[in-house]
Chains A and B, each alone.
Chain A
C-alpha cells in the first residue's frame, strides 16, 4: 500500500539551513504537503506542492520535488529557534478521503 517515509530526527545549528527529506510510494500522488507541529499543538499546514511542479519557494521555505525518485524535501533557510518542531510530510492522490502522513521528523536547533 501507500507509504510515506521520513527520518525521525534532525539537528542543525541556528542560522544554518535545515533540509528535511521524505520519500513516498504512491505514483498517483497529486498533492504533497509539509505540516509543522509545535509542542502540545495540532498540525499546521506550512506549504504544499502540486505533482506537476519541481520547486516552490515561500519566504524561508523551499520545497523540492523529484517525481521520478518520489522524493520530496523541505529546506528552511536561516533556521531559528522558533523552527524547532516536528515536520510531517503527507501526500494525497487528490481525494479528501486519502491523505497519508509520514511519521514526522523532529527538528532541533543547536545554539
Chain B
C-alpha cells in the first residue's frame, strides 16, 4: 500500500513555462485535494474533488487547473508559471468515514524563477 504518491519531488520552472503535478492514491478514497504550503501561512486549498468527475475551487485557485482522471489520480496543472507560485504542493485524499481523516503525499517543491 503506497498511500498517496506525488511526482515530481522537486521542479524548477522559468516564468511562463507550464507543468503538471501528478498525484495518485491507492486507498480507494473518493475525495482528493491539492494544497499549497507557504512559510507562516499553513496549508491553503487550491482545488478539491469530491469524487471522480467533479472538481471545485478552493481558497486560491487562480493560475491552476485540475483534472480528476479517475478515482486514483488527481493532477494539478500550471499553464503559465509565475514566481508567486513558488511553493510546496501537497496532494491529499480523504477517508470519509468517522472523522474525515486526510492522508497526505510527500509534496512537490516547486521553484519558479
Which of A's residues lie within 8 Å of B, judged by CB?
4, 8, 31, 33, 35, 40-45, 48, 50, 88, 92, 94-97, 99, 101-104
Contact = CB atoms under 8 A, between A and B. Distances in A.
Q: In this complex, which of A35, A40, A48, A101 has the most chain B Cβ atoms within 10 angstroms of its Cβ? A: A101
Given A31-B99, A43-B90, A97 B48 contact: yes
13 contacts: A4-B42, A41-B107, A42-B4, A42-B104, A42-B106, A43-B92, A44-B104, A94-B100, A96-B50, A96-B96, A99-B45, A99-B102, A101-B43
A97 B51 CA distance: 11
Interface residues of B, number: 24
Main secondary structure of the interface of B (DSSP, over half): strand
B105 interface: yes
A88 B90 contact: no
Given A96-B31, A97-B50, A97-B56, A45 B42 contact: no
A42 B90 contact: yes
Interface of B: 4, 30-31, 40-43, 45, 48, 50, 56, 90, 92, 94, 96, 99-107
A106 to B, nearest CB: 10
Contacts of B43: 43, 88, 101
B48 A50 contact: no
A8 B100 CA distance: 25
Given A8-B40, A97-B50, A103-B41, 10 more contacts: A33-B99, A41-B106, A42-B106, A43-B90, A43-B104, A45-B101, A45-B102, A97-B31, A99-B45, A101-B43
Nearest to A89: B42
Contacts of A97: 31, 48, 50, 56
B100 A42 contact: no
A42 B105 contact: yes
